[in-house]
Amino acid sequence: MSRAFLVVLDSAGIGGAPDADQFFNGALPDTGANTLGHIYQACAPALPNMESLGLKQAITLASGLALPNTAELGGRFAAATEVSLGKDTPSGHWELAGVPVPWAWHYFPDTTPAFPPDLLALVAQLAGTDGTLGNSHASGTEIIDNLAQEHIKTGWPICYTSADSVFQIAAHEDHFGLPRLLKLCEDLAPHLHALKVGRVIARPFIGANGNFQRTKNRHDYAIATPAPTLLDWAQAEGHHTHAIGKISDIFSHRGIDTATKGRDAELMQDLHDRINTAPEGSLTFANFVEFDTEFGHRRDAEGYAAHLTWFDRELCHILAALRQNDLLILTADHGNDPTWQGSDHTRERVPVLVAGAGQGEIGHIQMIDVAASIAAHLGLKERGSGVSFL
């Protein structure tokens, strides 16, 4: 039997989305955004293992940006285009798992206040407080720095959003309580999902006296997928499924047998463990989120490049440990160009780098073709509406 590993480098887009002019960071369109291409130009990271799978060729295929390349090609590469009308986490991951989003997400306006009074009244009621803080589009780290002291004093939760279809609540793990925050978000989520808001996100933090840090106990309460996904297809046919990182949250824990969460370094160790011990016929679906949260949104190109370098070093050991019939696919869910204006995601194509299926160019594909290809590799009956490139 065969094993499959689908690994998402969160936000590692490669430019070239044909409809980028319809998506914006502030008042300016995403036309020309190219996360990995611009990081190469700005920082010249050494990524020999991803380059051996065709990373630079995929960037050129997607966007036309030619980069100096001396790596011998040892894998297959493609540029995948998204059809869902978003540049967000659920849209990208659902498509990679074979299910495009059939509706338009609800977004909160980039104004202050951002939320209607009845929604904030509901949050306060569920939290058992006299009010809320925030009520704006904001960077999560900045709004915590600005409002944490008032939050500790009043006990009111901090509510904010972004260009994504999200409602985020930040609260101190000790003063507000982590179980209380998670219950608040869980109770609120059905009301937001009914409006087609994609996720309610719990953003716990710790610290004091202006030194506040978000913890690894983030939890996303995502709207359920509109149809069974690759995870469901595999599980229904008896294949063990394992989620690494925020995958279990994105898919509302559906189609998942086991899961792990944590910081990227912890998740990488779990991926190494899965490469070494995952049973035959299993599917492992991983997300490494810190590319996006720590470097993309913060527009930190050097930090992003350093994280890519770290990932590539680890990839060397992963590739060496793959078994003869294993399939490994590296990809992304959207872009978040750290050299771009604004602080939001960018609409881009994503790379599809394949180990275990020969060498050469696959070409332009749809993101749903990734699910169809993994399903074909695992011998699943259900393959969705995508086309396998194997």
| Tens-place pLDDT, residues 362-382 | 999 999 999 999 999 999 999
| Neighbouring residues of 217: CB distance < 8 A, sequence distance ≥ 6 | 173, 178, 202, 204
Angle formed by the axes of helices 35-43 and 301-321, to 10°?
A: 110
Could you give phi then psi for residue 71, rounded to 5 degrees? -70, 140
Instruction: Report the candidate in 242, 190, 244 with the shortest Cα–Cα distance to residue 221.
Output: 190
Q: Please report the pLDDT score of residue 210 as a whole number.
A: 86
Distance CA 315, CA 309 (A): 10
By CB atoms closer than 10 A (0-12, 13-18, 19+), residue 173 is: middle
Would you say residue 78 has pLDDT above 80? yes
Q: Which pLDDT belongs to residue 377?
A: 98
Question: 103: which DSSP letter?
Answer: S
Confidence of residue 297 (pLDDT cuts 50, 70, 90): very high
132 vs 139: CA distance, rounded Å? 17
218-264 residue pLDDT tens: 999 999 999 999 999 999 999 999 999 999 999 999 999 999 999 99
H runs (alpha helix) in 255-367: 264-277, 290, 301-321
- Please determine, for residue 25, whether its predicted confidence score (pLDDT) is greater than 80: yes
Percent over 70 (pLDDT), the chain: 100
Spell out the residues 6+ positions from residue 35 whose beta carbon is closer than 8 angstroms to its own: 11, 12, 13, 14, 15, 296, 304, 332, 335, 336, 337, 338, 346, 348
pLDDT digits (tens, 9 = 90+) for 323-347: 999 999 999 999 999 999 999 999 9
- pLDDT confidence bin for 26, thresholds 50/70/90: confident
Indicate if the alpha-carbon torsion angle 127, 131, 135, 139 is positive or negative.
Answer: negative
- Specify the pLDDT at position 117: 97
Spatial distance between the Cα atoms of 147 and 175, rounded to a whole number of angstroms: 14
Average pLDDT value for the chain: 97
**pLDDT score of 324:** 95
pLDDT at 113 over 80: yes
- Measured N-to-C along each axis, helices 89-96 and 368-378 cross at an angle, to the nearest 10 degrees, of 40
Helix axes 35-43 and 55-63, enclosed angle (nearest 10): 120
Given this model, what pLDDT does residue 145 score? 96
Look at the pTM and tell me if it is higher than 0.95. no
**Mean pLDDT of all residues in 292-303:** 96
